[in-house]
Amino acid sequence: MSKKQFQTEVHRLLHLIIHSLYSHKEIFLRELISNSSDALDKLKYLTLTDESYKGINFEPRIDISFNQAEKTLTISDTGIGMDNTELEENLGTIARSGTRNFVQSMTGDERRDSNLIGQFGVGFYSAFMVADKVEVVSRKAGTDIAFKWTSDGKESYEIEEAQRDTQGTTVHMFLNDEGEEYASRWSIQGIIRKYSNHVPFPIYLHFEETKYEGEEKDKKEVKEQKVEQINSASAIWKRSKSELKEEDYLEFYRQISYDVEDPMLYMHTQAEGTLDYSTLFYIPAVAPVDLFRADYKAGVKLYVKRVFITDDEKELMPTYLRFVRGVIDSEDLPLNVSREILQQNKVMAKIKSSSVKKILSELESLKNRDREKYNLFWKQFGVPMKEGLYQDFENRDKLLDLAMYKTSGKEGYTTLAEYCERMTPEQGGIYYITGGKENVLRNSPLLEMYKNKNIEVLILDDEIDEIVISAVPKFKDHELKSVNRSDAAESLKTDDDREREKKIEPLIKKIKEKLGDRVKDVVASTRLKDSPSCIVADENDPTVQMQNLLKAMGQAGSMPEFKPVLEINPDHEIITKLENAGDDAVVEDISLLLLEQAMLVEGMELKDPNAFVSRLNRVVNRSL
């Protein structure tokens, strides 16, 4: 027997689960059955694809028994099993930084946090919510020796040799006072039908039934041992849609997603003909906690002829649809399909392409029939959907139809098609502004002219927008134009604007001299109405927002130093007074302040804040 200390992270995790999810402790049974199902899946796959496992006597099943008097509960399976090393690795430590991610994602809401256990692969430890001690006896398939892992879930665990007749794993729990309610036939049945009814292997409940025999006056109580299958053990996606109810779909979703919310949308496809496959996809109501993590867990499971292959394959869906949960089951793929084969397999490519089109089509249908619900979808998943605009050229037009944006013309979201319907005849394009937070963009001086001319501007306040929009030069026949760029307002110039430009040329020349190489150019603005100045990017340069994005990604060094185009408002009082200023030092201070205040509005850092403050103080002092 060897006694070992828990990894620090495991100890912390156990404390969190035991003390933070008290009212949702029933999920322990869901987690243990899920682990058994995974073990059966793995062995089933090996018996079909690996010669060394084909001779194993494999009868896939999960058995549950309990003893109410002794307050024990046992879950046993005939799956792949574990040796002593795997027991230590799987139950004594946690891979993939699971605990750290789990802790970071906890919200304090028990209902939501109970959902996280399965998502982060730490479900076994939920057993300690209901048990003072847990024993795990496991024998790995193809070996003759079994091992027992024992722990009270506090500081340490022990591993020793044990006996088990067949391969598989048995989890034996000594229930605490809070967990004794689960040593009950009806409690176990209720939990399994709620969470695990569609586990694709039979779950048998062993229980004792009391009967009475004999005449009324001489009745005798007889205890009879019974074994009853308590789940449907069917592949729901292979069943006809006509025989399934909505509750069947929702129950299966809860089983595969661990989500406490019902899905926003589900879609069931059974294709026959050139390709024979079934899919069942779900759109969650709330974004998964790891949606923006590089190591996100794929949400779609792959089966071949109802044999589970993998749930860790990110090739099954494009990354912009990584929030989709569900199942793909193909009749045409080989059982020993590898990741490399998946990436190159034409059958899989066609299934993936058809599945993506189906999902996008269902989202289009949702948008058209229930806009309020679609708005909720976009709030949750709009950012990853936008990634598709530069990832998925094949479906870009469909994605553009699905895309929604905020706009200066109205509250809420609008589609590009709806924007185009409201366009003024003379505006000549779809205008957008990128940058920081929504309220900052709505009040940007860059929008002043557009508001005055009653031209809507799309408010692109997601960080990803700056990259994505560059991949979308046009929508239908309408060019997309950034108001952050110097050439955006060119087509909207009037003869009066050009006259004012000529009039102010001497001052522009003077300001250019004072600013030197701090700017790329100084021009008279046609877009400003209330503000004295603004900065924009030259049409061939990256915008301020793109510069900030590259800096955040650590790639600022690959770009030349950003030099903005300074636009000044010929009609603003500051500019008209500056035209008549005779003091050269005053012209220099005001010129620099016009540039610096415009830079601050656009979220740029000033190279020398002290010089800016000194300059500002001099100007204030002169005005008093």
pLDDT in tens, 112-125: 555 555 554 567 88
Beta-strand runs (E) in 263-359: 265-271, 277-283, 300-304, 307-310, 325-330
- Mean pLDDT to the nearest integer, 231-259: 89
Q: Residue 286's pLDDT is what?
A: 93
Residues 6+ apart with CB under 8 A from 211: 221, 222, 223, 224
Task: Report the CATH number of the 505-536+557-623 domain.
Answer: 1.20.120.790
Residue 430: CA atoms inside 13 Å, Cβ hemisphere, count?
Answer: 24
Q: Is the dihedral of CA 509, 511, 514, 520 positive or negative?
A: negative
Rg (CA), the chain: 33
* Architecture of domain 371-490 in this structure: 3-Layer(aba) Sandwich (3.40)
Cβ contacts of residue 256 below 8 Å, gap of 6+?
A: 301, 325, 326, 327
Stated as kind and residue range, the H or E segment containing 361 is helix 346-369
pLDDT at 471: 80
Going across the sheet that includes 72-77, the strands are 2-5, 156-162, 146-151, 131-139, 168-175, 72-77, 62-67, 203-213, 220-229
What's the pLDDT score for residue 548?
65
* pLDDT of the residue at 484: 86
pLDDT tens, residue by residue, 362-406:
999 999 999 999 999 999 999 999 999 989 999 999 999 999 999
Res. 95: pLDDT tops 50: no
Answer yes or no: is pLDDT of 273 > 70: yes
Query: HSE-up of 549 (CA within 13 Å, CB side)?
Result: 16
CA torsion angle 395 398 401 406 (round to 10): -30
3-state secondary structure of 619: helix
Q: Where are the domains of the chain?
A: 2-213+223-229, 236-369, 371-490, 505-536+557-623
Mean pLDDT lowest among 23-32, 260-269, 307-316, 549-558: 549-558
Q: Which CATH superfamily is domain 2-213+223-229 in?
A: Histidine kinase-like ATPase, C-terminal domain (3.30.565.10)
**pTM assigned to the model:** 0.73
pLDDT in tens, 445-500: 999 989 988 999 999 998 888 888 878 888 988 999 988 887 777 777 788 888 88
Residue pLDDT, tens place only, 130-189: 999 999 999 999 999 999 999 988 888 899 999 999 999 999 999 999 899 999 999 999
Per-residue model confidence (pLDDT) at position 96? 41
**Average pLDDT value for residue range 263-278:** 94
- Note the CATH number of domain 236-369: 3.30.230.80
| Predicted pLDDT at 582 | 77
- How does residue 199 score in pLDDT terms, banded at 50, 70 and 90? confident
What counts of helices (H) and strands (E) characterise the chain?
Answer: 21, 23
CA atoms of 44 and 444, how far apart (whole Å): 61
Residue 135 is encoded by which pair of tokens? 């024993």
